[in-house]
Amino acid sequence: MQVFVQLLITGIAMGFIYALVGIEYTLIWNATGLLNFSHDKFILFGAYMFAGTYVLGLGLPPVLAILFAVLTMFLFGIVSAFVIFNPLSKLSTNLFAVIGTVILGRIMIESVRLIWGPLPFTLDNFLRGSIHFGSVVVSKAHLVIIVVCSLITAGLQVFFKTTKTGKAMRCVSENKTAASLMGINVPMNIAFTIGLSAIVCATIGILVIPIFNVELQMSSMIGLKGFASGVIGGFGYLPGAIVGGILLGVVEIFGSMLIPSVYKDCLSFVLLIIFLLVRPSGILGNKR
């Protein structure tokens, strides 16, 4: 029983990570119609910015470092919106957009390698250790992931439902022409969305540091699985990304009890293909 609970918590924690990845690219997808194939590099960038520059480089306390990392990533998101995403979304087919974001990712990973070096490193005292609830042992990192991710998802829902900027962002994703007729500055709004997405990416990057260490390949698998979770839950629909992510995390952790754990990574792609063939709209995708 306690093994079951421990596995469940680990699964939910990973699921929340996938869910956040799903949210982060769904934001950009809804705002620009582009799939951000460089999103895993955004996550990587956030993690390196936090661990490499602000904590190890400048020696800031974690709270301040998180604040600065998130702020830097927000600015980076806005700049990349004007330099990359806006020109790309004007091109005729989405093929160019795919290539454009992919190459942006390449440029980012090369910059990371040049700035912070190719060797992996980690933060020793950051979210380490475990907490005991009776006989159940939960690692601190997983607990923090669950708490922070729930706060972010709830916060985003409130932001989209109640604030003026959030409503404008939903409007832009519904219909750009109508939005600009209603006096919404569409390019500015898109830039803000991408900045927001970059913030979520930075958060993911910081949260997974205790699990994966800081290295160049740390985010490529969660990036791909995030795509899978979005499709499973319902593509382009935020609650869908959350449901799909958590489902994927839990299925993965219990699946690895049934099949050899080296095939664990296969599971999410098999699920992805099954869903695409049988129910492309996903679990919650009955909106479309």
Verify binding: residue 93, other proteins, rule CB under 8 A.
yes
Write down the least CB distance from residue 92 to other proteins, Å. 7
Q: What is the dihedral of CA 30, 268, 16, 55, to 10 degrees?
A: -90
Nearest to 204 by CA among 149, 154, 272, 250: 149
Contacts with other proteins, 166-205, as mask; x by CB under 8 A: ----------------------------------------
Verify binding: residue 111, other proteins, rule CB under 8 A.
yes
Verify binding: residue 115, other proteins, rule CB under 8 A.
no
Nearer to other proteins, 37 or 192 (CB): 37
Residues 6+ apart with CB under 8 A from 149: 16, 17, 19, 20, 207
Mark the segment that binds other proteins (CB under 8 A) among 45-53, 57-65, 133-141, 276-284.
276-284
What are the start-end ranges of the H helices in the chain? Answer: 2-32, 39-48, 62-80, 86-89, 94-116, 140-162, 164-174, 176-181, 186-207, 209-212, 220-233, 238-258, 264-278
Write down the least CB distance from residue 19 to other proteins, Å. 17
Verify binding: residue 276, other proteins, rule CB under 8 A.
yes
For 90, which DSSP code? T
Residues 6+ apart with CB under 8 A from 191: 77, 78, 81, 82, 86
Among 68, 79, 82, 96, binds other proteins (CB under 8 A): 96
Verify binding: residue 99, other proteins, rule CB under 8 A.
yes
Among 43, 69, 70, 104, binds other proteins (CB under 8 A): 104
Nearer to other proteins, 210 or 282 (CB): 282
Cβ-based neighbour number of residue 162 at 10 Å: 9
Cα 288 from Cα 105, distance rounded (Å): 31
What are the residues binding other proteins (CB under 8 A)? 35, 84, 87-88, 91-96, 98-100, 102-104, 106-107, 110-111, 114, 220, 224, 227-228, 231, 235, 260, 262-263, 265-266, 269-270, 272-273, 276-277, 280
